[in-house]
Chains A and B, each alone.
Chain A
Amino acid sequence: MPARSPKQPRDGAAADAQSVAAFDRLYRDHVDRMYRFAQRLCGSPDDAKDLVQETFLSAYRSLKDFRSESSVSTWLYTIAAHACQRMRRKRKGEPERELSLDALIPTPDGDMPLQIPGDDLSPEARLQYKELRQSLFSAVHQLPKKYRMVLVLRDMEGLSARKVGAVMGLTERAVKSRLHRARLFVRHELTGQRAGEAGRPRTIDGD
């Protein structure tokens, strides 16, 4: 009976161990980033954990097919974006709507209160900043998903427009168009919400 070569995997156990080791490296290096992305995208921590789980499960399955043409993080963002779409389809959310640029561009003649704080926050303004951050996430989650994904990837995760396009399968031009609408929408929600708070004049403009 011929002796088994030491390199030969015994009933796949060695191969499995290699896969788990490769997965562990991937998981350890990227789970924080993916959870942050998932939270920004989903809003709730539970949904974010589901998305992280779905993302790394898909990543595990296709780990051996990964080609280093894109960075690992871009590859994971792409998997997460697809997983997010699958999860939403299962939940049968409301139909996607378009954001009209004309409706979002403010009328120059109208009043445009500047109520988003600057960088120089005083201690008491930090509390207001915390509230503002809540308002920001609320505004981001009111965005239709295709706009939200672009805003989160570009302005929160810091990806270039080209990489966002690679993740979402869009041209750079389409990314920039969606990004502009998304930013205007969030700005409108933030300023509108602040303006609606009667009797609470804001002094955190920093101007």
Chain B
Amino acid sequence: MTTRRRTTRTPHRHSTAHCRKILRTISGYLDNDLPKSMCAEIRKHLGACPQCERVVRSLKRTINLCKRADVARLTASDKTRLRKEILTAVSRL
């Protein structure tokens, strides 16, 4: 006869220290740079902690904003002028 082991689920306890520990590693988590076990722990924490979930979401969006943030291009005349200035400087060496 097998005895079924009783599992007791402890509710997630939101603790500042644990949250700070999670948030210290969150860039690695977002970059898929952490071991699977750590990712699972973080996912579990985020599922139970709305505050950390919000921080992570806004950090993810900050990164996305950086990735999409475009800047003005160099005009054709600026390219030509810069090239000329570089070659002039080279000829003086």
What is the interface of chain A, defined by CB distance below 8 A to chain B? 20, 23-24, 27, 31-32, 35-36, 39-40, 45, 49, 52-53, 56-57, 60-61, 101-102, 105-109, 112, 114-119, 132-133, 136-137, 140, 151, 155-156, 158, 161, 176, 179-180, 183-184, 186-187, 190-191, 207
B contact residues, range:
35 or more
The reply on B79 being an interface residue by CB < 8 A is: yes
* A156–B69 touching, CB < 8 Å: yes
The reply on B87 being an interface residue by CB < 8 A is: yes
Q: How far does the alpha carbon of A40 sit from the alpha carbon of B79 in the complex, in Å? A: 18
Smallest CB gap from A19: residue in B: B90
Interface SS of A by simple majority: helix
Contact of B62 (CB < 8 Å), options: A24, A137, A190: A190
Q: How far does the alpha carbon of A131 sit from the alpha carbon of B71 in the complex, in Å? A: 14
Smallest CB gap from A158: residue in B: B67
Please give, as numbers and ranges, the residues of chain A lying within 8 Å of B55 by CB-CB distance.
Answer: 106, 108, 112
* A137–B58 touching, CB < 8 Å: no
Interface SS of B by simple majority: helix
* B71–A36 touching, CB < 8 Å: yes
Q: How far does the alpha carbon of A60 sit from the alpha carbon of B88 in the complex, in Å? A: 12
* B65–A61 touching, CB < 8 Å: no
Q: How far does the alpha carbon of A133 sit from the alpha carbon of B70 in the complex, in Å? A: 9
The reply on B33 being an interface residue by CB < 8 A is: yes
* B82–A116 touching, CB < 8 Å: no
Please give, as numbers and ranges, the residues of chain A lying within 8 Å of B49 by CB-CB distance.
Answer: 108
Question: Do A136 and B64 contact each other (CB < 8 Å), given the known contacts A108-B19, A176-B28?
Answer: no
Q: How far is the CB of B77 from chain A (nearest CB, A)?
A: 12
Q: How far does the alpha carbon of A151 sit from the alpha carbon of B73 in the complex, in Å? A: 20
Please give, as numbers and ranges, the residues of chain A lying within 8 Å of B62 by CB-CB distance.
Answer: 116, 183, 186-187, 190
Q: How far is the CB of B18 from chain A (nearest CB, A)?
A: 9
